[in-house]
Structure 1
Amino acid sequence: MTPQRVTLITLGVADLDRAAAFYAALGWQPAELAEGARFYQMHGAALALFGLADLAADQGRPATALGTGAVTLAQNFETQAQVDAAYAAALAAGATPLKAPDSVFWGGYSGYYADPDGHVWELAMNPFWPLAADGSLTLPNPAG
Protein backbone atom coordinates (compact mmCIF):
# COMPACT_ATOMS: atom_id res chain seq x y z
CA MET A 1 0.00 0.00 0.00
CA THR A 2 1.36 3.46 -0.86
CA PRO A 3 1.23 6.41 1.57
CA GLN A 4 -1.76 8.74 1.36
CA ARG A 5 -0.08 12.08 0.73
CA VAL A 6 0.80 14.74 -1.82
CA THR A 7 4.16 16.51 -1.45
CA LEU A 8 4.47 18.63 -4.60
CA ILE A 9 1.80 20.07 -6.91
CA THR A 10 3.14 21.08 -10.34
CA LEU A 11 1.13 23.35 -12.59
CA GLY A 12 2.02 23.37 -16.27
CA VAL A 13 2.06 26.95 -17.54
CA ALA A 14 2.27 28.44 -21.01
CA ASP A 15 4.43 31.39 -19.91
CA LEU A 16 6.52 30.92 -16.77
CA ASP A 17 7.32 34.62 -16.30
CA ARG A 18 3.64 35.58 -16.61
CA ALA A 19 2.60 32.85 -14.16
CA ALA A 20 5.33 33.82 -11.67
CA ALA A 21 4.21 37.45 -11.90
CA PHE A 22 0.63 36.40 -11.14
CA TYR A 23 1.67 34.50 -7.99
CA ALA A 24 3.95 37.38 -6.98
CA ALA A 25 0.93 39.67 -7.26
CA LEU A 26 -0.82 37.37 -4.77
CA GLY A 27 2.12 37.80 -2.41
CA TRP A 28 3.70 34.39 -3.05
CA GLN A 29 7.50 34.34 -2.82
CA PRO A 30 9.40 31.53 -4.56
CA ALA A 31 11.45 29.43 -2.16
CA GLU A 32 13.58 28.06 -4.97
CA LEU A 33 14.21 29.06 -8.57
CA ALA A 34 15.31 26.55 -11.17
CA GLU A 35 15.77 26.66 -14.92
CA GLY A 36 12.24 26.55 -16.28
CA ALA A 37 10.55 26.29 -12.87
CA ARG A 38 9.54 28.16 -9.72
CA PHE A 39 8.92 26.42 -6.39
CA TYR A 40 6.74 27.79 -3.58
CA GLN A 41 6.65 26.45 -0.02
CA MET A 42 3.16 25.67 1.24
CA HIS A 43 2.10 24.24 4.58
CA GLY A 44 3.41 20.67 4.45
CA ALA A 45 3.80 20.66 0.67
CA ALA A 46 5.13 22.72 -2.21
CA LEU A 47 3.72 24.16 -5.42
CA ALA A 48 5.74 24.31 -8.63
CA LEU A 49 5.18 26.26 -11.83
CA PHE A 50 6.76 24.44 -14.78
CA GLY A 51 6.71 25.32 -18.49
CA LEU A 52 4.24 23.17 -20.46
CA ALA A 53 6.81 21.99 -23.03
CA ASP A 54 9.34 21.11 -20.31
CA LEU A 55 6.66 19.34 -18.24
CA ALA A 56 5.52 17.32 -21.24
CA ALA A 57 9.10 16.31 -22.07
CA ASP A 58 9.70 15.28 -18.45
CA GLN A 59 6.60 13.05 -18.63
CA GLY A 60 7.67 11.55 -21.95
CA ARG A 61 4.68 13.01 -23.81
CA PRO A 62 4.22 15.60 -26.55
CA ALA A 63 3.34 19.10 -25.30
CA THR A 64 0.07 18.93 -27.22
CA ALA A 65 -1.04 16.10 -24.90
CA LEU A 66 -1.11 18.44 -21.90
CA GLY A 67 -3.29 21.32 -23.00
CA THR A 68 -4.26 24.23 -20.78
CA GLY A 69 -4.34 23.71 -17.03
CA ALA A 70 -2.02 20.69 -17.02
CA VAL A 71 -1.34 19.45 -13.49
CA THR A 72 1.04 16.83 -12.09
CA LEU A 73 0.54 15.58 -8.54
CA ALA A 74 3.73 14.27 -6.94
CA GLN A 75 4.70 11.97 -4.14
CA ASN A 76 8.30 12.14 -2.98
CA PHE A 77 10.10 9.19 -1.39
CA GLU A 78 13.41 8.69 0.40
CA THR A 79 14.78 5.97 -1.91
CA GLN A 80 14.66 4.79 -5.50
CA ALA A 81 13.36 1.42 -4.26
CA GLN A 82 10.37 3.17 -2.66
CA VAL A 83 9.68 4.97 -5.95
CA ASP A 84 9.83 1.66 -7.83
CA ALA A 85 7.53 -0.05 -5.30
CA ALA A 86 4.97 2.77 -5.42
CA TYR A 87 5.06 2.76 -9.24
CA ALA A 88 4.50 -1.01 -9.33
CA ALA A 89 1.63 -0.70 -6.84
CA ALA A 90 -0.01 2.03 -8.93
CA LEU A 91 0.21 -0.07 -12.09
CA ALA A 92 -1.16 -3.08 -10.24
CA ALA A 93 -4.08 -0.94 -9.10
CA GLY A 94 -4.91 -0.01 -12.71
CA ALA A 95 -2.81 3.09 -13.43
CA THR A 96 -1.62 3.77 -16.97
CA PRO A 97 2.19 3.93 -17.22
CA LEU A 98 3.52 7.15 -18.76
CA LYS A 99 7.24 7.02 -17.96
CA ALA A 100 8.91 4.28 -15.93
CA PRO A 101 11.03 5.51 -13.01
CA ASP A 102 14.55 6.41 -14.07
CA SER A 103 17.40 8.79 -13.24
CA VAL A 104 16.54 12.33 -14.33
CA PHE A 105 18.48 15.41 -15.45
CA TRP A 106 18.09 17.28 -12.15
CA GLY A 107 19.91 14.59 -10.16
CA GLY A 108 17.01 12.60 -8.80
CA TYR A 109 14.91 9.63 -9.83
CA SER A 110 11.31 9.75 -11.02
CA GLY A 111 8.55 8.19 -13.05
CA TYR A 112 4.98 9.06 -14.08
CA TYR A 113 1.62 7.30 -14.29
CA ALA A 114 -1.96 8.39 -14.92
CA ASP A 115 -4.79 7.32 -12.64
CA PRO A 116 -7.93 5.84 -14.23
CA ASP A 117 -9.30 9.35 -14.83
CA GLY A 118 -6.10 10.52 -16.49
CA HIS A 119 -4.72 12.57 -13.59
CA VAL A 120 -0.93 12.46 -13.78
CA TRP A 121 1.17 11.48 -10.76
CA GLU A 122 4.94 11.73 -10.47
CA LEU A 123 6.75 9.46 -8.02
CA ALA A 124 10.16 10.87 -7.18
CA MET A 125 13.26 10.63 -5.03
CA ASN A 126 14.94 14.03 -4.80
CA PRO A 127 18.31 13.93 -2.98
CA PHE A 128 18.19 17.73 -2.56
CA TRP A 129 14.85 17.76 -0.71
CA PRO A 130 14.98 15.52 2.37
CA LEU A 131 11.65 14.38 3.77
CA ALA A 132 10.64 14.66 7.42
CA ALA A 133 9.92 11.51 9.44
CA ASP A 134 6.19 11.95 8.71
CA GLY A 135 6.88 12.11 4.96
CA SER A 136 6.22 15.83 4.68
CA LEU A 137 8.29 17.98 2.34
CA THR A 138 9.90 21.26 3.31
CA LEU A 139 11.89 23.05 0.62
CA PRO A 140 15.43 23.98 1.64
CA ASN A 141 15.83 27.56 2.86
CA PRO A 142 18.02 29.40 0.31
CA ALA A 143 19.10 31.84 3.03
CA GLY A 144 20.65 29.03 5.04
Structure 2
Amino acid sequence: MDQRISFITLAVADVERSRRFYIDGLGWREELFVPGEVLMIRAGEHLMLSLWDERGFESEVGPIRRGDGLVPVTLAHNVRTEAQVDEILSLARRIGADPVGEAIKRDWGGYTGYFGDPDGYRWEIAVNPGPTGELVLPD
Protein backbone atom coordinates (compact mmCIF):
# COMPACT_ATOMS: atom_id res chain seq x y z
CA MET A 1 0.00 0.00 0.00
CA ASP A 2 1.34 3.45 -0.96
CA GLN A 3 1.93 5.93 1.84
CA ARG A 4 -0.72 8.52 0.94
CA ILE A 5 -4.26 9.70 1.65
CA SER A 6 -6.69 10.05 -1.27
CA PHE A 7 -9.84 11.31 0.48
CA ILE A 8 -10.65 12.96 3.77
CA THR A 9 -14.37 12.43 4.30
CA LEU A 10 -16.28 14.37 6.93
CA ALA A 11 -19.92 13.75 7.81
CA VAL A 12 -21.88 17.02 7.77
CA ALA A 13 -25.39 17.91 8.89
CA ASP A 14 -26.22 20.13 5.89
CA VAL A 15 -24.26 19.85 2.63
CA GLU A 16 -25.68 23.12 1.30
CA ARG A 17 -24.59 24.98 4.45
CA SER A 18 -21.11 23.47 4.08
CA ARG A 19 -21.05 24.59 0.44
CA ARG A 20 -21.92 28.15 1.44
CA PHE A 21 -19.11 28.11 4.01
CA TYR A 22 -16.34 26.53 1.93
CA ILE A 23 -17.22 27.65 -1.60
CA ASP A 24 -19.02 30.96 -1.13
CA GLY A 25 -17.26 31.98 2.11
CA LEU A 26 -13.69 30.68 1.87
CA GLY A 27 -13.64 30.93 -1.91
CA TRP A 28 -12.65 27.32 -2.58
CA ARG A 29 -13.67 25.55 -5.82
CA GLU A 30 -15.88 22.50 -5.90
CA GLU A 31 -15.05 19.43 -7.94
CA LEU A 32 -18.44 17.79 -7.42
CA PHE A 33 -21.63 18.94 -5.76
CA VAL A 34 -24.75 16.80 -5.42
CA PRO A 35 -27.32 18.78 -3.38
CA GLY A 36 -28.31 16.97 -0.22
CA GLU A 37 -25.63 14.33 -0.72
CA VAL A 38 -22.01 15.39 -1.14
CA LEU A 39 -19.59 18.24 -1.82
CA MET A 40 -16.10 17.34 -3.03
CA ILE A 41 -13.24 19.82 -3.03
CA ARG A 42 -9.76 19.16 -4.40
CA ALA A 43 -7.42 19.77 -1.46
CA GLY A 44 -4.13 18.78 -3.07
CA GLU A 45 -2.65 17.22 -6.16
CA HIS A 46 -4.04 13.79 -5.25
CA LEU A 47 -6.26 14.64 -2.28
CA MET A 48 -9.99 15.27 -2.10
CA LEU A 49 -11.97 16.70 0.83
CA SER A 50 -15.40 15.06 0.76
CA LEU A 51 -18.20 16.61 2.82
CA TRP A 52 -20.86 13.93 2.94
CA ASP A 53 -24.40 14.23 4.27
CA GLU A 54 -24.39 12.43 7.62
CA ARG A 55 -27.36 10.21 6.71
CA GLY A 56 -25.50 8.82 3.70
CA PHE A 57 -22.33 8.56 5.77
CA GLU A 58 -24.09 6.56 8.47
CA SER A 59 -25.76 4.23 5.98
CA GLU A 60 -22.37 3.25 4.55
CA VAL A 61 -19.90 3.67 7.43
CA GLY A 62 -22.02 3.21 10.55
CA PRO A 63 -23.49 5.30 13.38
CA ILE A 64 -21.97 8.68 14.16
CA ARG A 65 -20.97 9.33 17.75
CA ARG A 66 -22.95 12.25 19.11
CA GLY A 67 -22.73 14.20 22.34
CA ASP A 68 -20.76 16.92 24.07
CA GLY A 69 -17.20 17.79 23.20
CA LEU A 70 -15.26 18.24 20.02
CA VAL A 71 -14.82 15.84 17.15
CA PRO A 72 -11.37 14.34 17.86
CA VAL A 73 -9.75 15.50 14.63
CA THR A 74 -8.31 18.73 13.28
CA LEU A 75 -7.54 19.78 9.74
CA ALA A 76 -4.65 22.12 9.06
CA HIS A 77 -3.95 24.72 6.41
CA ASN A 78 -0.37 25.94 6.50
CA VAL A 79 0.80 29.29 5.16
CA ARG A 80 4.16 31.08 4.95
CA THR A 81 3.60 34.11 7.20
CA GLU A 82 1.95 35.09 10.46
CA ALA A 83 0.10 37.85 8.58
CA GLN A 84 -1.50 35.19 6.37
CA VAL A 85 -2.64 33.28 9.47
CA ASP A 86 -4.29 36.43 10.83
CA GLU A 87 -5.87 37.23 7.44
CA ILE A 88 -7.47 33.79 7.11
CA LEU A 89 -8.77 33.83 10.69
CA SER A 90 -10.28 37.24 9.98
CA LEU A 91 -11.98 35.85 6.86
CA ALA A 92 -13.32 32.90 8.87
CA ARG A 93 -14.76 35.33 11.42
CA ARG A 94 -16.41 37.43 8.65
CA ILE A 95 -18.12 34.41 7.09
CA GLY A 96 -19.54 33.22 10.40
CA ALA A 97 -17.08 30.57 11.57
CA ASP A 98 -17.61 29.78 15.23
CA PRO A 99 -15.54 29.74 17.25
CA VAL A 100 -12.58 31.64 15.87
CA GLY A 101 -9.60 31.89 18.19
CA GLU A 102 -6.82 34.43 18.03
CA ALA A 103 -3.55 33.10 16.67
CA ILE A 104 -0.71 32.78 19.15
CA LYS A 105 2.95 31.86 19.13
CA ARG A 106 3.18 28.21 20.24
CA ASP A 107 5.82 26.68 22.53
CA TRP A 108 7.10 24.59 19.62
CA GLY A 109 7.84 27.73 17.58
CA GLY A 110 4.83 27.91 15.29
CA TYR A 111 2.12 30.54 15.03
CA THR A 112 -1.40 29.11 14.87
CA GLY A 113 -5.07 29.76 15.44
CA TYR A 114 -8.24 27.73 14.98
CA PHE A 115 -11.74 28.18 13.64
CA GLY A 116 -14.75 25.89 13.56
CA ASP A 117 -16.67 25.10 10.39
CA PRO A 118 -20.49 24.80 10.42
CA ASP A 119 -20.30 21.23 11.77
CA GLY A 120 -17.71 21.99 14.43
CA TYR A 121 -14.66 20.58 12.62
CA ARG A 122 -11.64 22.55 13.74
CA TRP A 123 -9.32 24.05 11.15
CA GLU A 124 -5.86 25.07 12.28
CA ILE A 125 -4.28 27.90 10.31
CA ALA A 126 -0.55 27.69 10.89
CA VAL A 127 2.97 28.72 10.18
CA ASN A 128 5.22 25.79 11.02
CA PRO A 129 8.94 26.50 11.29
CA GLY A 130 11.64 24.35 9.76
CA PRO A 131 11.69 21.57 7.22
CA THR A 132 8.33 20.04 8.15
CA GLY A 133 6.62 23.36 7.57
CA GLU A 134 8.31 23.72 4.18
CA LEU A 135 7.36 20.16 3.22
CA VAL A 136 3.62 20.87 3.34
CA LEU A 137 3.64 24.16 1.42
CA PRO A 138 3.29 24.36 -2.36
CA ASP A 139 6.20 25.77 -4.36
Alignment TM-score, normalising by the size of structure 1: 0.46
- Which one has a bigger Cα radius of gyration? 2
Name which structure has the greater RCO, CA cutoff 8 Å, separation 6+.
Answer: 1
